[in-house]
Amino acid sequence: MGDDQSRMEFYKQMFGGAWITQGLWVAAELGIADLLADGPCKVEELAAKTGAHAGSLYRVLRALAGVGVFSHDGHGRFSLTPLADLLRSDVPGSQRALAILMGGEFHAAWGELLHSAKTGEPGFNKKFGMPFFQYVAEHPDRHDFYDAAMEGVHGRETQPMLNAYDFSAFGTVIDVGGGNGSTVVGILARHPAVQGILFDLPAVAERARSGLVGSNQANRLHVVGGDFFSAVPGGADVYLLRHVIHDWLDEDAVSILRNCRDAMSPGAKVLVVEMVLPSENEPSFGKWLDLMMLLVAGKERTEAEYSQLFTDAGLRMTRVIPTESDVSIVEGVPAS
């Protein structure tokens, strides 16, 4: 990328990425893709159904059509494309909830990245006056979006994780901070002899319990409410923390891992499922996700940093297992 034109084009694309995110947010918040599920529609009809201004909505959708999200027939009618289909609410792998969070609260928090870079303080707290998880707890309407967004961005990692690690040798797996239970349910579905425990905050556990009623794995899954900063249930063979440790800075991350260590029997294992950052100049989506975690008082880490966390928590890292997705499985055992 040596010539001036190529370098200028690079920056044009980078700056435009933020604009596209905002366009996706508008379409997702208004539910445009859901309205187009039955076929093409004129922008005036879309505006009437969403309470939007027709001329302005047209300009947003026209811009999105220019990058392959929606199709424009030149006469004011828009239709779905394969990319736009993922903005529907009712499709596998839906990205609608993630688009809403990325264009809404998280976009606002990104505006405080300079504050975070200068002070080390979370930009989300500065923008919204409270930590992210408190914000979600106080805005129940956003909690469902958050759960759906995490499923949308991380759900496709479950099968690669199961392909990379054999859980069949274990009697009981506890999913620490397991949210809606999708991860542990995936493990139980793959391994019929395994028992599961879903452990999360009482309100989260209750919501998960209601959502799991009638599922095929419900009879092998015990849902427990509690606080992993206080204690973690004992009696499991595997303590699984998937996209949990990256939510916290080192002191809190060590506290969570130490509580798992205190609950573990000598033969138990802890599995941390996260992106493991490469070093130096190697490109990685995780390095950009790390900046988002900076905004919410979290952190993505390298293999060496995970090893240090384990050591500080009384654990010994035994191996790092890559998967076919962006995440790796960091395995540890109680230190002797």
Task: Flag whether 249 is in a domain.
Answer: yes
The CATH number for 42's domain is 1.10.10.10
* 67 & 179 share domain: no
* 177 & 53 share domain: no
Range with the poorest average pLDDT among 102-106, 196-200, 211-215, 323-327:
211-215
pTM of the model: 0.88
* 193 & 312 share domain: yes
Total of domains in the chain: 2
Q: What is the pLDDT of residue 153?
A: 66
Catalytic residue among 72, 154, 243, 246: 246
Task: Flag whether 115 is in a domain.
Answer: no
Of 64, 88, 112, which residue is a domain's last?
88
Task: Flag whether 162 is in a domain.
Answer: yes
* 308 & 177 share domain: yes
Task: Flag whether 35 is in a domain.
Answer: yes
In the sheet with 172-176, reading across from the earlier edge strand, the strands are 221-225, 195-200, 172-176, 238-242, 269-274, 328-334, 315-322
Q: Work out the burial of residue 158: count CB atoms within 10 Å of its CB; fewer than 13 is exposed, 13-18 middle, 19 or more buried.
A: buried
* 71 & 169 share domain: no
Task: Flag whether 102 is in a domain.
Answer: no
Q: Tell me: the pLDDT tens digits for 42-87?
A: 999 999 999 999 999 999 999 999 999 999 998 889 999 999 999 9
Q: Tell me: the pLDDT tens digits for 136-149?
A: 888 877 777 777 77
CA nearest 244: which of 275, 216, 269? 275
Would you say 223 and 205 are in contact if contact means Cβ atoms under 8 Å apart? yes
Q: What is 87-140 written as a DSSP string?
A: TSTTSTT--HHHHHHHHTHHHHHHTTHHHHHHH---HHHHHHSS-HHHHHHH-H
The residues pairing with 10 across neighbouring beta strands, listed in sequence order, are none
Of 68, 88, 108, which residue is a domain's last?
88
Domain of 24 in residue numbering reads as 4-88
Taking 80 as the threshold, does the pLDDT of residue 300 lie above it?
Answer: yes
What would the mean pLDDT of 127-139 be, rounded to a whole number? Answer: 90
Task: Flag whether 130 is in a domain.
Answer: no
Taking 60 as the threshold, does the pLDDT of residue 2 lie above it?
Answer: no
* 50 & 166 share domain: no
Task: Flag whether 135 is in a domain.
Answer: no
Task: Flag whether 122 is in a domain.
Answer: no
- What own/partner pairs with CB < 8 Å and gap ≥ 24 does 126-133 have? 131/296, 131/297, 132/296, 132/297, 133/247
For residue 246, indicate whether it is catalytic.
yes
